[in-house]
Amino acid sequence: MVLWDVVTAKQILTFDHAKVVICCVFSRDSRFVATGCQDKVCRLWETRRGKETVIFSEHDGIIISMAYSPNNNFIASASADRTIRVWSTHSGKAEHVLRGHVGIVLSCSFTNDSKRVISNDERMLKVWSATTGDCLKTINVEDVARGAPVPLGMRKLTWTLSTVAPGLFSRFIIAACNNRFVYVLDVITGAVSYTHLTL
């Protein structure tokens, strides 16, 4: 993986991996970058020197998505093993294993206060406590998208991506569905606050 300067377009560092890097995420202060790989391993790197500082290898599937907590203390890694692991950026030890998804976990993100993790597979979107590891809310795609126009040829409704809205709006989840609608959901109640059709 290569780190580039966005102003000069010059290569700054190369982070060597034995397998393909699937995803990466910066810490909020940009001092570190975490990578998730095809080899089922997550790695944490210093962005100044390119030094590998932490290795996390407790997943049983490739890493699909990663999120850095806003307080910089934890990383959530989502995997093809149907779990999300919340682990310490300092020790590399897992704090919680979030189980309950029925398919590959496609995305994960932290709320702005670092207290909740949002994740989704194709069928379910889940809200978790980052403190206890408990599932606080499950939102099924059929319950939200039922009644919306269905594109021709589409066989079933699926979530494709989800993320927490930034900054002061992190009470809301942005969730994309394969019916071409994007939904804004309340992170506490799961209620739909807004929908938008994408072209």
- Sequence length of the chain is 199
Kindly tell me if the per-residue pLDDT of 197 is higher than 90. no
Q: Mean pLDDT across the chain, nearest whole number?
A: 94
> What DSSP string describes 134-154?
-EEEEEEHHHHHTTS---TT-
- Residue pLDDT, tens place only, 130-175: 999 999 999 999 999 987 777 777 788 999 999 999 888 889 999 9
Query: So what's the pLDDT on residue 199?
Result: 54
The answer, yes or no, to whether residue 186 has pLDDT greater than 80, is yes
Is beta strand 172-177 parallel, antiparallel or unpaired with respect to 181-186?
antiparallel
Question: What is the structure's pLDDT at 154?
Answer: 76
Q: How confident is the model at residue 195 (pLDDT cuts 50, 70, 90)?
A: confident
Per-residue pLDDT averaged across 58-68, rounded? 97
Contact 26, 68 (CB under 8 A): yes
pLDDT tens by residue, 16-59: 999 999 999 999 999 999 999 999 999 999 999 999 999 999 99
Torsion of CA 153, 157, 160, 163, to 10 degrees: 150
**pLDDT at 7 (0 to 100):** 93
What's the pTM value of the predicted model, to 2 decimals? 0.91
- pLDDT for the residue 153: 74
Q: What is the mean pLDDT of residues 110-128?
A: 97
Cα(88)–Cα(40) distance, integer angstroms: 17
Counting other chains too, the contacts that 135-138 makes at CB distance below 8 Å and 24 or more residues apart are 135/98, 135/100, 137/187, 137/188, 137/189, 137/190, 138/100
Q: Give pLDDT, residue 169.
A: 85
**147/4 Cα distance (integer angstroms):** 45
Instruction: Mark out the alpha helices in the chain (DSSP H runs).
Output: 141-145
Q: What's the one-letter identity of residue 133?
A: G
